[in-house]
Chain A
Amino acid sequence: MFNITHISFWIVFAALLFFTRKQRILWPLLALALLLLFNDIFTPGFFNLELREGHLYGTLIDILKHGGIVMLVSLGMTLVIATGGVDLSVGAVMAVAGAVLAQAAINHQSPFVAMIFALLVSLVLGAWNGLLVAGIGIQPIVATLILMVAGRGVAQLITEGQILNFTDATLVYIANGYLLGMPFTCTLVLVLLAVTYALTRGTALGLFIESVGDNDIASRYAGVNSRFVKFIAYVFAGFCAGLAGLVAASNIKSADANHAGLYAELDAILAVVIGGTALTGGRFYLLGSIVGALLIQTLTTTMYARNVSADIAPVPKALVVIAVCLLQSDKARRYFTRLFPRRNPPAAMTETLTAAAPKVEAGS
């Protein structure tokens, strides 16, 4: 239990917690730390890492590898939620992207052409959502519900109701390959995270998204093209979902229109909310969403490691959803602070919360 990698892991994690102690990301990180600590003590072999043929193996690596799909989806979802919307269709888009990929691969397209096809289709689907929300002005839940319902039908149409298998080495590499000893999925997530971060924080785009999410009308008066900003967010979410669809299809070397990306939208929304982005829109935290996705995957892996049946696994997840909701809720926070009074409330957090969710307190 007390080997070098082990101790260094906890030292690094403790340092991480120390440096983020005044930021919102502290909470999901702390939850992750607690879950890992629980596993460290009670699940034997959870922290074992092995180096085989230059590739790292172990439960921790599995979490990174399998959490990749939710991480990719949640990056796009973060921006959509930040604009005050939500995208329910990401699971269906994943299924469509996987179906296009497999169908193209089976029809002897080169793997790169197949990937480009799949990503183009998911961009188009994202643009469709963006058009409904930003162009026609339909409520986001409703607008994306259409594609959520119809998308799986379209995916089945593409696969002709079959589960399409492919064997192309390049396509299989996406989810199963290793780069520099780590799963290739990690590289994919890191690149997408870096690009998203650069685009939103390096340019004014992130600020525009936050302003649209905070107050659509005010930002329009301030000269922000709020429709375009929303449109871009949905297109980007479509792209991320498509990328996740490629990984999901590559993972099982086939396209399964019925089960690919099932519940992906719910996991992604959960990851985003755990990460500290409020569902009401406004401030967003890309790194928080990644940590949220990691937390969800660690929870799932913990259940498997502790021999909890996969069917019962949703119950603890439900408790996490409610706990996270309560932590984010202004009202619940007030109840708790009344129960445990203290002198210095975390000012930064309550401020952002009240700013993100102004409530009329009539009646009280």
Chain B
Amino acid sequence: MNRINPKYIPLAATALVMIALYVLGCVLYPNFTSPRVIVNLFGDNAFLGIAAVGATFVILSGGIDLSVGAVIAFIGIFIASMIASGMQPLVAIVLALVVGTVFGAVQGSLIRVFDLPPFLVTLGGMFFMRGMAFVVRQESLAIKHSFYQQTIRQLVIPLAPRVNIPFTAMCLIAVVVVATYVCVYTRFGRNVYAIGSSENSALLMGVPVGGTKIGIYALAGFFSALAGCVSTFYMQSGNPASFVGLELDAIAAVVVGGTLLTGGVGFVPGTLMGVLILGLIQTLITFQGNLNTWWTRIAIGVLLLLFIVLQKAIAGRGRA
């Protein structure tokens, strides 16, 4: 009974890698110990983190969402041009969240009602949103509104002298807390796990597979839209050409965070750790100075490989 449940092993490995990377940074570079590094880690990766939380739900259910990056870009330019045309920022943000959720629900309905592969439907969604972003506006647009230029920038929690927790970081933490609650303590969350473990069994047990599936993609659309909003807080602009390939980073973060890509096993806090690991790699390479950015991609690839092989080993042991 004292043996650790194997489903926690990837999570423990993720935590270990995260701590090891942080300690490595602290040992190599004296400035790494500054609390600002941690604060920036959360603030700079907030939109990736929120998108990855949405992707966690989709992957837990055994699906995949490729439309994330394009949705974030679309929402960004959508909010920017709405504000530029005189709309109140909060109204624009709410409208953007509704658009994102509806878009996700449409994807989910196509997947559910017509039994289409999620891979292809969200691929179509990606093309569609990327194109629509350019329909809204062909080039990037700065947001010039007092809400963005002052209110958001002043919404910070002072942590130490001259170190503030930015609003984007607060958004990320709030999203992780809420998503963890939804995932673990609600009926919807348990349904997601059930569908991911075995859709047929879930169906036979009486889980409302159809509604839950549409809900999962609607939720992912909502989180992508929220990530788009947070990206406008962070960048103070919208750009239709931005965030190409962000969905891959999100999926990588989810996998590194210990979620099985086959579905059914995984945790939202693990995804947060996955995002932080990607961020730490980025920060380490920035601190190193003479390493080039492509090492980031290679390092993420190697980490992905390690975690996937680890998952495979655990899954193999569970079956035996």
Contact = CB atoms under 8 A, between A and B. Distances in A.
A314 B131 contact: yes
B21 interface: no
Contacts of A148: 248
Contacts of B292: 156, 161
A145 B110 CA distance: 25
Interface string B245-270: 00010011001000001100000000
A139 B119 CA distance: 14
B288 interface: no
Interface in B107-144: 110, 113-117, 119-121, 123-128, 130-132, 134-135, 138
Given A156-B292, A325-B117, A331-B115, A315 B135 contact: yes
Instruction: Give the bracket for the number of chain B residues in contact with chain A.
Output: 35 or more
A279 B120 contact: yes
A171 interface: no
Interface string A226-251: 00000000000000000000000000
Contacts of B121: 321-322, 325
B43 to A, nearest CB: 24
B297 A152 contact: yes
Interface in A118-146: 136-139, 141-143, 145-146
A194 B236 CA distance: 54
Interface stretch (B82-90, B182-190, B299-307): B299-307
Interface residues of A, number: 51
Given A156-B294, A157-B294, A266-B123, A147 B301 contact: yes
A72 to B, nearest CB: 20
Contacts of A143: 308
Contact of B116 (A139, A153, A325): A325
A243 to B, nearest CB: 23
Nearest to A266: B123
A315 B120 contact: no
Contacts of A329: 114-116
Nearest to A154: B298
A142 B255 contact: yes
Given A150-B300, A326-B114, A317 B127 contact: yes
Contact of B131 (A313, A325, A362): A313
A345 interface: no
Contacts, number: 139
B132 A315 contact: yes
B128 A150 contact: no
B181 interface: no
A168 interface: no
B130 A314 contact: yes
**B121, B127, B308, B312: residue with the most chain A Cβ atoms closer than 10 Å:** B127
A150 B113 CA distance: 36
B120 A321 contact: yes
Contacts of B255: 142, 145
B119 A279 contact: yes
B128 A315 contact: yes
Nearest to A137: B312
A279 B241 CA distance: 30
Interface string A309-349: 10111111111011001100111100100000000000000
A164 to B, nearest CB: 14
Contacts of B298: 150, 153-154, 157
A151 B304 CA distance: 13
Nearest to A158: B294
B251 A145 contact: yes
B133 to A, nearest CB: 8
Given A315-B128, A330-B115, A145 B304 contact: yes
Contact of B300 (A137, A149, A316, A331): A149
Nearest to B124: A321
Interface string B30-64: 00000000000000000000000000000000001
B130 A325 contact: no
A325 B203 contact: no
A151 B298 CA distance: 7
Interface string A204-234: 0000000000000000000000000000000
Contacts of A86: 119
Contact of B134 (A145, A312, A325, A330): A312
Contacts of A90: none
Given A138-B308, A363-B203, A149 B248 contact: yes
Contact of B124 (A145, A146, A161, A322): A322
A149 B125 contact: no
A359 B200 CA distance: 10
Contacts of B115: 329-332, 359
19 contacts: A141-B64, A149-B252, A150-B304, A153-B294, A153-B301, A156-B292, A270-B123, A280-B117, A309-B138, A311-B138, A314-B128, A314-B130, A316-B131, A321-B123, A322-B124, A325-B114, A332-B115, A362-B204, A363-B209
Interface of B: 64, 110, 113-117, 119-121, 123-128, 130-132, 134-135, 138, 200, 203-204, 209, 240-241, 248, 251-252, 255, 261-262, 292, 294-298, 300-302, 304-305, 308-309, 312
The 8 A-B pairs with the shortest beta carbon distances in the complex, nearest first, are A150-B301, A153-B297, A315-B131, A321-B124, A318-B128, A311-B134, A156-B294, A318-B127
Interface of A: 86, 136-139, 141-143, 145-154, 156-157, 161, 257, 266, 269-270, 273, 279-280, 309, 311-319, 321-322, 325-326, 329-332, 335, 359-360, 362-363
Given A141-B261, A149-B297, A319-B128, 8 more contacts: A146-B301, A150-B297, A150-B304, A161-B294, A257-B294, A311-B138, A332-B116, A360-B203
